[in-house]
Amino acid sequence: MTPTKPPNPFRVGFLVLPHASLLTVASTLDPLRSANRHLGYEAFQWLVISPGAESVALTCGLDLPGGPDLTAVRGFDMLIVIAGFRVAEVTTAPLLRDIRKAAASVPVIGAIDTGTWILAKAGLLKGARVTVHWEDIEALALEYPDLDVLPDRYVTGERVITAGGAGPAFDMMVDLIRNRFGAQLAHEVASSFITSTIDHATPQRRSQYGGIAVHDKVAAAIRLMEATIATPLATAALAKRVQLSVRRLETLFQSSLGYSPGAFYSELRLQAARRILATGSAPMTDIAIRTGFSSASVLSRAFTRRFGESALAFRRKNGKYAGNGLLRPATARAAPPDQPAASQGPNPAGRKRTIASAPRGSTS
């Protein structure tokens, strides 16, 4: 019997921009490599693109080899943009022009993490259903009201696919493998990484309060809070929705999180305002409306009380530190015996995050 000829390789161009995350890049590429390994042939081929440079600097301080310009993806099956921090800095007019030209030559375009911002800036997402890293959801929806911005882990359509970060990117690529080669290969790929995939429509932040250290009713109340940031509910209304008395809800919040429901709700809204401030230039009045404050002045006062600086000062500073503590041989100090080498300290190259809950500019 003549052996079945393998199908033509599915070719993907990955545009990786400076200040992207190594974990996000690996989560996007490695499922395809694993699929090839299990199949025994190159079912998937990929090209890493870093226009104008032979490599791209990632947030951890390592460089990813790249090279060709975007014309190299003409005739490919898919183009995916992977971005991370400092999107405004890396998104130049020539880059947007080249992305538009490249996108016209491929049937599917995609974005991981803050890559969604870049496709939106290029005018390639008109009216699309998309997602972005959860820290950027409010800001993207505010900046591009024509988009249907969802909190899902990943969103797929015929023309556009988007994922919120490293974990969702892995799931989305496994889904791509499943659609082309079936559930068995998808299972083998996920098993190779000793993991399992999560449904695409699962909210990105589900695991934050997924019942691990909080009561189920508290988790349900938090989901309601996150869904109503712009139109906050009274504590009594929250309690009714989760079928508890106000007193019982307050007791559960205090014992699980150390907050009252009202204080926790306020914290969620202020963190949402903080993310928008760091990732865009929206007026304070718009941010106040988006985060459920009655006016810009009310938001400003609450922001200063909570964070110890004005919203304007925070926006100016913009918190670009991404946590890069890589030691480089030329600059690392010699460590005393039996002690680790000292870190070089904060490297300003990175995303717009200052603390774990602060914004990005925009996983992960």
Beta carbons of 64 and 25 less than 8 angstroms apart: yes
Mean pLDDT of the chain: 84
Last residue of some domain: 192, 220, 245? Answer: 192
For residue 5, give every residue at least 6 positions away whose Cβ sits within 8 Å of its Cβ, in sequence order, or none: none
Residues 129, 226, single domain; the answer is no
Proportion of the chain above pLDDT 70, given as a percent: 82
Give dist(CA 334, CA 70) in Å, integer: 42
Q: Which of 169, 192, 215 is at the close of a domain?
A: 192
Q: Tell whether 80 and 25 lie within a shared domain.
A: yes
Residue 4 lies in a domain: no
pLDDT at position 357 is 33
Question: CA 259, CA 253: separation in Å to the nearest integer?
Answer: 6
Domain-embedded: residue 341: no
> Is 3 part of any domain?
no
Q: What is the DSSP letter of 326?
A: -
Same domain, 167 and 33: yes
- Same domain flag for 110 and 211: no
Q: Are residues 143 and 239 in the same domain?
A: no
Same domain, 229 and 110: no
The answer to the question of residue 67 being in a domain is yes
Residue 222: give its domain's CATH number. Answer: 1.10.10.60
Q: Name the H helices within the chain.
A: 22-39, 87-90, 93-103, 115-121, 137-143, 166-181, 183-192, 216-227, 235-241, 246-257, 261-279, 284-290, 296-307, 311-317
In this prediction, residues 40-48 reach a mean pLDDT of 93
Q: Is residue 57 part of a domain?
A: yes
Is residue 325 domain-resident? no
Instruction: Please report whether residue 333 resides in a domain.
Output: no
- Work out the pLDDT band at 206, boundaries 50, 70, 90: low
Q: How many domains is the chain built from? A: 2
Alpha helix positions (H), 91-206: 93-103, 115-121, 137-143, 166-181, 183-192
Dist CA 266 CA 211 (whole Å): 21
Same structural domain for residues 135 and 230? no
Q: Is 78 helix (H, G, I), strand (E, B) or coil?
A: strand
State the pLDDT at residue 205: 65
Question: The domain containing residue 14 runs over which residues?
Answer: 10-192
Range with lowest mean pLDDT among 64-78, 152-166, 206-220: 206-220
Q: Could you tell me if 99 and 81 are in contact, meaning their C-beta atoms sit under 8 angstroms apart?
A: yes
Indicate whether 155 and 227 sit together in one domain: no
Residues 104 and 243 in one domain: no
241, part of any domain: yes
| Residue 300 sits in the same domain as residue 185 | no
- pLDDT band, very low/low/confident/very high, at 74 (cuts 50, 70, 90): very high
Binning pLDDT at 50, 70 and 90, where does residue 211 land? very low
Q: Is residue 281 over pLDDT 90? A: no
Instruction: Tell me if 66 sits within 8 A of 30, measured CB to CB.
Output: no
CATH number at residue 14: 3.40.50.880
**pTM, entire model:** 0.72
